[in-house]
Amino acid sequence: MKSVFSATKLGRISGRRFALIASLAYAPLCTSAWSLDLSQAYQAAMSQDASILATRAATDARLERLPQARSQLLPNIALSASRNNNSLESIGPDFAGRASVSNRNYNSSSLALTIRQPLFRKFQFADYKQAKAQVNDANAILDRELQNVAVRVSGAYFEALLTAEQLALVLSQKKAYTSQFEAAKKRFAAGAGTRTDIDEAQAALDLNVAQELEVRQNVDYTHRQLQVLVNQPVDNLATLDPEKLQLLEPTPNRVQDWIDRAEDSSPEIRSLKAQVESAGYEVEKAEAGHYPTLDAVAQISRDASSTVTSVNNSFNNNSIGLQLSIPIFSGGNVNSNVRQALAEKARAEQALEALRRDLGVRVHHEFRGVTEGVLRVKALEQAVRSTEQVAMSNRRSYEAGSRTLIDTLNAEQQKVSAQRDLAQARFVYLISRVKLQALTGGPKTEVIDEVNGWLKP
């Protein structure tokens, strides 16, 4: 009776106690001494994750594109100087008509200050506007990666919690199977049971041991996944508190509103819109090959002994004027560049349209993940209560002789399956909330802090 009573108590484990068992089962697998919750994991990943650090560096590099393009529209000032030692050998007829050779050495120098201000350069003007679009693209890509950090950290964190809960379930099931195995042996020894009961209990226990090994491997793997993101050893994780968990419908509660929000604010959409704009300016740059350029040029120069006939003479020259360059023929290169740029623009426009359609599907999926997740969690909570009652009734009926051991084992397995499905449904609901905010460009930390409030140390 003692073993049966223990199994009965184990069958009444609630969602709250699963979280406690999960944390206790998970702790021995780690050797470090650092504990964190979801918000701490997110902040650590923001500063330590290699992918986000690489994206930040790439963004900083692309931001320099704007001052580089602007510089082409500002005055260009150049100073040039030279000093040479010249050795001149001249051969010519003398007064008698004979060849005469003369050598002459002299120094020459020049100094010039030139200021060039572009007045009309279609290519540079388009390049500057393109640089603005590319900076917008870089910022949108960074925002997208920041949103993805929240999704990746939440996914890794919830997966680690889920495998810990699965391990807790397997361990509780192992205790129940062990108790049933011992009870079956005692009943057989007392003449009230059968050898088949012992074999069935042994088979269930052996299968449970194999499941335990697999789940422990998954716990270690998910634990290491999270460590990679936060770049620090992790010991205990704050677990989900079912009493704090709020099953909230999305606000607004209409999927089209979320799709519209995604099209307006999604970092992915903003990135591709910027790429389409950049492609349009690339067309302008290609067409600039047909246009003249006009610059204002001012120069101050001083030359000394610049030629053999001006040795020991110096010249000061100040000039200001306009310089016009008109392209006439480039072998068809400009027209080819224009066609290429137009094709690239068409590609970017179609990529944007494809993303809009795909984003609508993904937003719809995550919206349903939240709305249906609420219903699924509530349904599974009721299913857990029912299967726990069935498992307890079967154990009592088995003790009374009206149920077989296989009925008890099946009821126990059904109970554990419902508990496992409930844990998974809760985490699917949570990650759907995070993904929905990420897809629509919502606040990066608001949903993380919200979910973090539903955890407990």
pLDDT band at 31 (very low <50, low <70, confident <90, very high): very low
- From 184, 186, 206, 189, select the one nearest 405 (Cα to Cα): 184
- From 173, 184, 180, select the one nearest 5 (Cα to Cα): 180
Cα 79 to chain centroid, rounded: 48
The label of the residue with tokens 């807790």 reads 168
Do the Cβ atoms of 302 and 316 come closer than 8 Å? yes
% of the chain beyond a pLDDT of 70: 92
Q: Is 188 a residue whose pLDDT tops 60? A: yes
pLDDT of residue 4: 33
Q: pLDDT per residue over 226-253, tens digit each?
A: 999 998 888 789 999 999 999 999 988 9
pLDDT of residue 103: 81
Q: 364: burial class by Cβ within 10 Å (0-12, 13-18, 19+)? A: middle
Rounded to an integer, the average pLDDT of 43-55 is 92
pTM comes to: 0.76
Task: Please tell me whether residue 457 adopts helix, strand or coil conformation.
Answer: coil
State how far the Cα of 194 lies from the Cα of 398, in Å rounded to an integer.
13
State how far the Cα of 287 lies from the Cα of 289, in Å rounded to an integer.
5
- From 130, 121, 71, 128, select the one nearest 289 (Cα to Cα): 121
Do the Cβ atoms of 309 and 90 come closer than 8 Å? no
Q: Which residues share a beta bridge with 169?
A: none
The count of other CB atoms within 10 Å of the CB of residue 131 is 22
Q: pLDDT per residue over 304-338, tens digit each?
A: 876 767 677 888 999 999 999 999 998 999 999 99
Cα radius of gyration (the chain)? 39
CA distances from 199 to 36, 180, 414, 457 (A): 44, 11, 20, 41
Q: pLDDT per residue over 200-221, tens digit each?
A: 888 888 888 998 999 999 999 9
pLDDT of residue 35: 66
Q: pLDDT per residue over 94-138, tens digit each?
A: 777 777 787 888 888 999 999 999 999 999 999 999 999 999 999
- From 378, 220, 233, 347, select the one nearest 283 (Cα to Cα): 347
